[in-house]
């Protein structure tokens, strides 16, 4: 049985963003059975978890007879290659899907993550005000470039949903709460179409139910030395 790790609870601003949803979404799309193992901050910092995830992040994916994997991008790609799903059969289209998949993680996500870092993790209001214009402008430029490349198509490559669409739709969630997709309506429509997929809706509903059933105490932050 495949086992995916996730957190018991996260603050409201992080809900829907924790990346185990990417792996769970992929598993639902390809129809592979799996379980979710919830961890707290003590386990996150513990030696056993760090032995398989050196950065202490979720998700990891464990499976009997295979090495435990980490990094959502690596796990989703592993699942696509093994299942043969969400990847085009045509070699040329498959190569383009992989290019867009990597672009979502390496080109688009860092720009959007900088905005999220300023808005959600920068406590000093002066620093926030100083950094906000530049990071927002750069992120907006990236969104405009993706929208221009997408054009009027429903998918990044070909006529079907692929791991490129899954990953880009997830990455765009970083700035969704900040209204930054309003300036790129075709990209917003593109994302909404994919986030309406039953597999995604199921995973997010389950993730939100988990957070609703737990609280900060369940994460044992104090025991882990986190204020």
Q: For residue 45, what is the domain's CATH number? A: 3.40.30.10
Per-residue pLDDT, 200: 98
Residue 138 lies in a domain: yes
Q: Cα(204)–Cα(5) distance, rounded to whole angstroms?
A: 15
CB atoms within 10 A of CB 204: 17
Chain mean pLDDT for the chain: 97
- In this prediction, residues 129-134 reach a mean pLDDT of 96
Q: Coil, helix or strand for 173?
A: helix
Whether 191 is in a domain gets the answer yes
Confidence of residue 129 (pLDDT cuts 50, 70, 90): very high
Q: What's the pTM?
A: 0.96
Q: Specify if 226 maps to a domain.
A: no
Query: At residue 227, does pLDDT exceed 80?
Result: no
Provide the 10 A C-beta neighbour count for residue 66. 11
Mean pLDDT of the region 10-17 = 93
What range does the domain containing 24 cover? 2-85+200-219
CATH number, domain with residue 186: 1.20.1050.10
Residue 30 confidence (pLDDT):
98
Question: Into how many domains does the chain fold?
Answer: 2
Split at pLDDT 50, 70, 90, the class of 209 is very high
Answer for the pair 171, 156: CB distance below 8 angstroms, yes or no.
no
* Angstrom distance (rounded) from CA 172 to CA 104: 9
pLDDT of residue 226: 87
Is the pLDDT at 172 greater than 80, yes or no?
yes
Instruction: Give yes or no for residue 106 having a pLDDT over 80.
Output: yes
Do residues 63 and 35 make contact, with C-beta atoms less than 8 angstroms apart? no
Q: In terms of domains, do 114 and 72 share one?
A: no
pLDDT tens by residue, 94-103: 999 999 999 9
Tokens of 211: 């957070």
């Amino acid at each position: 049985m495949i086992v995916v790790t996730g957190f018991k609870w996260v603050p409201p601003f992080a809900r829907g963003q924790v990346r185990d949803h990417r792996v769970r979404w992929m598993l639902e799309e390809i129809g592979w059975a799996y379980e979710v193992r919830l961890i707290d901050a003590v386990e996150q910092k513990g030696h056993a978890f760090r032995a398989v995830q050196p950065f202490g992040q979720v998700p990891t994916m464990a499976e009997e007879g295979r090495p435990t994997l980490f990094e959502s991008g690596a796990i989703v790609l592993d699942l696509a290659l093994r299942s043969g799903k969400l990847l085009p059969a045509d070699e040329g289209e498959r190569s383009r899907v992989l290019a867009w998949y990597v672009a979502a993680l390496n080109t688009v996500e860092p720009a959007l993550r900088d905005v999220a870092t300023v808005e959600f993790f920068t406590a000093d209001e002066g620093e926030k005000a100083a950094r906000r214009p530049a990071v927002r402008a750069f992120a907006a430029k990236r969104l405009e470039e993706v929208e221009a490349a997408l054009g009027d198509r429903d998918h990044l490559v070909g006529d079907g949903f692929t791991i490129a669409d899954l990953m880009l739709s997830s990455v765009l969630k970083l700035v969704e709460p900040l209204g930054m997709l309003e300036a790129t309506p075709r990209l917003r429509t593109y994302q909404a179409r994919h986030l309406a997929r039953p597999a995604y809706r199921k995973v997010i509903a389950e993730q939100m139910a988990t957070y609703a059933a737990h609280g900060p105490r369940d994460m044992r932050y104090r025991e882990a030395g986190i204020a």
